[in-house]
Structure 1
Amino acid sequence: MSRFVVLLRGVNVGKGNRVPMAEFRAMLEALGHTDVKTLRNSGNAVFASTSRSATKLAADIAAGLQDRFGVTTPVIVKSASEFRAIVDGNPIVPPEAEHSRFLVAFAMDPARLAELDALQPLLNPGERLAVTAHAAYLHCAGGLLESKAGEAMLGKAGKGITTRNWGTTLKLAALV
């Protein structure tokens, strides 16, 4: 059995795209996955599966979300080794006090990540953005709410990706 992380974009934010985590966990189990654990209320889970295709898993989970909850949203699935490589490959490791000001962007399609490089001109002084083949990393030294690049990444520029702060990313790495 292989281990995976699944990340949903934009669920349980405001009144739209409601996906109760207990029901999400049950949906993943109904799809045949085992050892399912969720983290926080924002669409994070780890699980074991006999499947080895992250692309197929993402498509199956997306279909399950639509069928069970009426929610259509990007679903990002990374194998345990891919997720560990994203964590280990972070070129801008923030100090612990900055974990909430540091975003990691995940995508199924590496081309979506490459598009984020266009956010470089939006960086405020002290901010850093690094885009790799596997993830994008944004440190918003002045805070996410004050960052034009952060706002763009969380908005239209981030369509097809999802982000997690560094603290959540590390917790998921420990779970997987």
Structure 2
Amino acid sequence: MPQYLAFLRAINLGAKRKFPKADIVAATEAAGMTDVETHINTGNVFFTSTLRSPAKVRAALEKAYATDRGFDVPAIVFTPEEIRAITERGTQLRAVNEDGARHYVQLFHEPPPQGAVAAAQALGLPGEELVVEGRAAYALMPEVAGSRLTNSKEYAALGQGTARTITVLQAIVEKWC
């Protein structure tokens, strides 16, 4: 049976968007998924499904999550192989930039538009680097809070996604991939 990972966007960030792990598991099972597990409380979900299309998996999850929560919960779906490749690339980039930089990976439903990628990469901000490959954008910066890159309109134009640290992705790969 196909295995998938879903990365949920914009949950557990405030009082109105709570989605506890036990409820994520129950809603994921209600969507027809099996062998459901979560990792930390930021919406990282592993499961198996009889569905063979990530788009169908996403639609089923988002419908079940909205029904359960009463608000939209975008789910960005990958196969374990895709997440392993994204994490390996992120680990390579981190090895080249071991100067204490923070390293986040923004995950997207679709690859960002090339024009938006070019504009964001053209910012050339000192100490901040952006590499976009496929459905992942790797952002390396000294501090997240003061990042001119991730707070720019050019970065926002990459599209709606959800970010994870490379450390979290490495733990997920070790656990599920």
Residue 152 of structure 1: how far off its partner (Å): 3.8
Query: How big is the alpha-carbon RMSD for the aligned residues of Structure 1 and Structure 2?
Result: 2.4
TM normalised by structure 1 equals 0.85
Aligned to 2:166: 166
Residue 113 of structure 1: how far off its partner (Å): 7.8
Aligned to 2:130: 129
Aligned to 1:19: 19
Residue 159 of structure 1: how far off its partner (Å): 4.2
Unaligned runs of 5+ in 2: none
Aligned to 2:79: 79
What SS is found at the alignment partner of 1:124? coil
Q: Supply the distance in 2 between the matched residues of 1:89 and 1:126 (Cα, whole angstroms).
A: 20
Report how many aligned residue pairs link the two structures.
173
Answer whether contact 1:11 1:42 (CA < 8 A) is retained: yes
Q: Supply the distance in 1 between the matched residues of 2:74 and 2:114 (Cα, whole angstroms).
A: 14
Residue 89 of structure 1: how far off its partner (Å): 2.8
Q: Any idea what the Cα deviations from partners look like across 1:10-56, whole Å, max 9, x if unmatched? A: 11102232211111111112222222111111111111122221111
What SS is found at the alignment partner of 1:42? coil
Q: Any idea what the Cα deviations from partners look like across 1:54-100, whole Å, max 9, x if unmatched? A: 1111111111111110121321000111111211233512478858x
Which has the greater radius of gyration?
Answer: 2
Greater mean deviation of Cα atoms: 157-166 or 34-43: 157-166
Aligned to 1:48: 48
Runs of 4+ aligned structure 1 residues displaced above 4 Å come to 94-99
TM normalised by structure 2 equals 0.85
What SS is found at the alignment partner of 2:173? helix
Percent identical: 30
Instruction: Spell out the pairing of 1:18-167 with structure 2 (5 A cutoff).
Output: 18-90=18-90, 92-94=93-95, 98=100, 101-111=102-112, 115-140=116-141, 142-152=142-152, 156-157=156-157, 159-167=159-167
Give the 3 Å change call, closer, same or farther, for CA 136–67 of structure 1 in structure 2.
same
What SS is found at the alignment partner of 1:136? strand
Residue 173 of structure 1: how far off its partner (Å): 1.4
Answer whether contact 1:8 1:43 (CA < 8 A) is retained: yes
Aligned to 1:4: 4
Residue 115 of structure 1: how far off its partner (Å): 2.9
Greater mean deviation of Cα atoms: 142-151 or 111-120: 111-120
Give the 3 Å change call, closer, same or farther, for CA 174–152 of structure 1 in structure 2.
farther
Residue 118 of structure 1: how far off its partner (Å): 2.5
Q: Supply the distance in 2 between the matched residues of 1:77 and 1:109 (Cα, whole angstroms).
A: 10
